[in-house]
Structure 1
């Protein structure tokens, strides 16, 4: 009998009305965000049960964006399981706090403050890490920049696209190019890219963000074909909406069902343990399949979301008024529940 898939813990968020409480109550696969993917299930059947402890024992795992949110929760999880985590982010103070948190759980962590917008700094990071620890067994490209702004407000903001591409695409690419040769030489390695459900759903207002994530997704697919014989695995995680500081400026997300960073770390722990090619929530996979069959229908759905959830005050650059961005109405809350995890 095939092993049962583990459930992620119940979604916990600040209760905001009956609709939101219902939307945050797990109901089957869609409610728990249990990663369901055909090859993933086949992998589990063929290889049987595995453990995170077995996957990270004696290994060095480098995590970008490790000072808070998903990165921190994942570092704590890996450290508790016996892996050595290399924590990378810009601010040393917050990284030191993250290191202390990992060590408080019995883990081993090392701090490497790095500005990932600086390509030469990334090169120094990779060289320092290899010199200090010998190798990197698992690279988790988690750091990212998200911009929620309609194209109508972006005509004179080409720099938004440049900065997003720099952090979400060029930075992880630079790390891959620095660390992949050692992985191929050892014939062992794993690269995990934290992508977005937006790449599957192609949501409006996130053109800069999802384009940068899609670039890394497709690049990794191409490299995977070349490194297949070297026992290197690339895993793309199409992560649904997670309640982190990155989404805080968009206050309407207070009424959206989201994952907690701890639940997101469960997904990444699953990725490390089973090394699937892709992981994603059911709604993202359904959207990608529907878009492949009939993009015109999905265009209409996306246009509906575009009109239902307007640009935020932060995107417009306007001062706060008596009306909050979060006032999306009952129809908006219902639409968010029906498309749970999608960042409109």
Structure 2
């Protein structure tokens, strides 16, 4: 189903991004990945190649326009197009912190990174998708993007912004053949969750166990889905996967 499809994943060196990269490599896709830290990124690149996948892997900060342009340009020069984009990269910030105690500089930095990177990468891949009349963009959100939680600070607020951006862009893309949706992966056993809930005392899902909704949204089966919000673990539990 994904043979020869070009799947682009930002923030792919760990957690859910890594799980997505491995899964799509196993499904036969061509995988373009980026991250800010070259060491972990190289490990993922080697893992994908060991699965037989074609890979583009570049160190990049996707909240910086020139890094975004380089990443997308290399991918397009290598394979001609981007079929599916996962805007996965984000940061949590300084850890659990009341807004009253949040440093202004760090507050602005979290908002800048988490809202600017999906904006920049989407804006860069859209011309190619629109010219071909097809493409799927999936933004990663959070329960904290629709419910304010104490001490989740700028991260939660940034996800409110991502949800608004997704709705706005989906409306603007209506009728183009390109679709944009968002997925709340739920609480997962990741480094970011460890930072958000450092003393977590309840079991967490493994990222690799809840990927069906991502496969669905990347597939042609979801061509009529646009502007919708999905919850990965609920989707999996209901057995709704179609990919």
Structure 1 partner of 2:238: none
Structure 2 partner of 1:73: 19
Match for residue 199 of structure 2 among 242, 252, 256: 252
Computing the radius of gyration from Cα coordinates, the structure with the larger value is: 1
Distance 1:59 1:282, change over 3 A: closer
Local SS of the residue matching 1:201:
coil
Per-residue deviation at 1:70? 0.6
Measure, in 2, the Cα distance between the counterparts of 1:189 and 1:93.
30
Match for residue 152 of structure 2 among 203, 206, 212: 206
**Higher relative CO (CA 8 A, sep ≥ 6), structure 1 or 2?**
1
Per-residue deviation at 1:131? 2.1
Deviations 1:209-237 (A, max 9, x none): 12212212212211212212111111100
Measure, in 2, the Cα distance between the counterparts of 1:281 and 1:114.
27
Is 2:76 aligned against 1:130?
yes
Deviations 1:79-109 (A, max 9, x none): 1111101011012222121012122233222
Q: CA RMSD in A?
A: 1.9
Distance 1:65 1:183, change over 3 A: same
TM-score, normalization by structure 2: 0.86
Structure 2 partner of 1:303: none
Deviations 1:27-60 (A, max 9, x none): xxxxxxxxxxxxxxxxxxxxxxxxxxx2x22111
Local SS of the residue matching 2:129:
helix
Is 2:127 aligned against 1:178?
no
Structure 2 partner of 1:13: none
Local SS of the residue matching 1:61:
strand
CA contact (8 A) 2:135 2:179 kept: yes
Deviations 1:251-308 (A, max 9, x none): 212x13322121243442233234343211688xxxxxxxxxxxxxxxxxxxxxxxxx
For residues 26-45 of structure 1, the aligned pairs below 5 Å read none
Distance 1:282 1:76, change over 3 A: closer
CA contact (8 A) 1:92 1:111 kept: no
Is 2:211 aligned against 1:265?
yes
Local SS of the residue matching 1:98:
helix
Local SS of the residue matching 2:175:
helix
Stretches of 4+ aligned residues off by more than 4 angstroms: none
Distance 1:71 1:281, change over 3 A: closer
More helix by share: 1
Give structure 1 stretches of 5+ with no counterpart. 1-53, 284-344
Match for residue 224 of structure 1 among 170, 182, 189: 170
Per-residue deviation at 1:126? 2.1
CA contact (8 A) 1:63 1:139 kept: yes
Per-residue deviation at 1:152? 2.6
TM-score, normalization by structure 1: 0.62
Measure, in 2, the Cα distance between the counterparts of 1:163 and 1:79.
33
Is 2:188 aligned against 1:242?
yes
For residues 251-330 of structure 1, the aligned pairs below 5 Å read 251-253=198-200, 255-273=201-219, 274-275=221-222, 276=225, 277-280=228-231
